[in-house]
Amino acid sequence: MHRRPLERERANPVAATGRPFNHPTPPAFVVWNDYKPPGKGARVTRLNVNGEIHEVDLDIRTTLLDALREHIGLTGSKKGCDHGQCGACTILVNGRRINSCLSLAVMHEDDEILTIEGLGKPGKLHPMQQAFLEHDGYQCGYCTPGQIVSAVGMLGEVADGWASHASADINAAPTLSEAEVSERMSGNLCRCSAYPNIVDAIREAAPAVEVGKTDERRAA
């Protein structure tokens, strides 16, 4: 029996059209940073970054890393893997280190966000930045902002008494042995393998970095 085209498609949509019945034609090309579904998705988000308030018009699916880099223009935090594997995007949120590629910007409207740009500046470097310079704690430098911010966050965890997988006694106050620092920094990868110098820099800078306990820092 001869069927009209619509009937043929209903009877066997995949054979007739190459895609399931009612499946919309996909857009030819979507640039995800620019993509906003019509009439929904975009939202003004207030972010407190390095002590400054930024109001940014974001698709609600924008990661904190993309908000910082693409919308606010703070490109110090790097995108290495974009899925929580490398640590290049590490920033501090309320004193805690996080992978900013794994968090949505809209989740952080009431938070204090600190990036490498807020840690120190040329001429007034943070002790951790200075120690990385003195110990040559980098080669290409791509992982370095994440390493430095992560190291500062890690010292906060030590001040809070957090044990690590390398701690011999989880009830004792943590010490910053080479093994402890290596373990605590294991979320930050360095493709140039500058690890020995990174560990030296962190151990040297630690006494000069006043972190205090996280709750005290937040109350101050």
Distance CA 80, CA 87 (A): 8
Q: Which is nearer to ligand FES, 48 or 139 (CB)?
A: 139
Going by DSSP bridges, is the β-strand pair 112-114/90-93 parallel, antiparallel, or unpaired? antiparallel
CB of 124 to ligand FES, least distance (A): 23
Residue of 154, 139, 152 whose CA lies nearest to 197: 139
Site string for ligand FES, 84-123 (x = CB under 6 A): xxxxxx---------x-x----------------------
The angle that helices 195-205 and 144-159 make with each other, rounded to 10 degrees, is: 40
Pick the stretch among 8-16, 17-25, 82-90, 105-113 that binds ligand FES (CB under 6 A): 82-90
Q: Which is nearer to ligand FES, 89 or 92 (CB)?
A: 89
Contacts of residue 113, Cβ cutoff 8 Å, sequence gap at least 6: 47, 48, 49, 50, 64, 68, 91, 92, 93
Does 194 participate in binding ligand FES (rule CB under 6 A)? yes
Contacts of residue 73, Cβ cutoff 8 Å, sequence gap at least 6: none
CB of 10 to ligand FES, least distance (A): 46
Does 79 participate in binding ligand FES (rule CB under 6 A)? yes
Q: Which is nearer to ligand FES, 159 or 198 (CB)?
A: 198
- Angle, CA 61 vertex, CA 59 and CA 64 arms, to 5°: 95
Pick the stretch among 66-74, 104-112, 121-129, 186-194 that binds ligand FES (CB under 6 A): 186-194
CB of 213 to ligand FES, least distance (A): 26
3-state secondary structure of 101: helix
Distance CA 162, CA 14 (A): 57
Contact with ligand FES (CB under 6 A) among 70, 82, 112, 160: 82
Please answer whether residues 129 and 145 qualify as being in contact, where contact means their C-beta atoms are separated by less than 8 angstroms.
no
Residues numbered 133-162 forming contacts with ligand FES, rule: CB under 6 A: 138-144
Binding site for ligand FES (CB under 6 A): 79-82, 84-89, 99, 101, 138-144, 190-192, 194
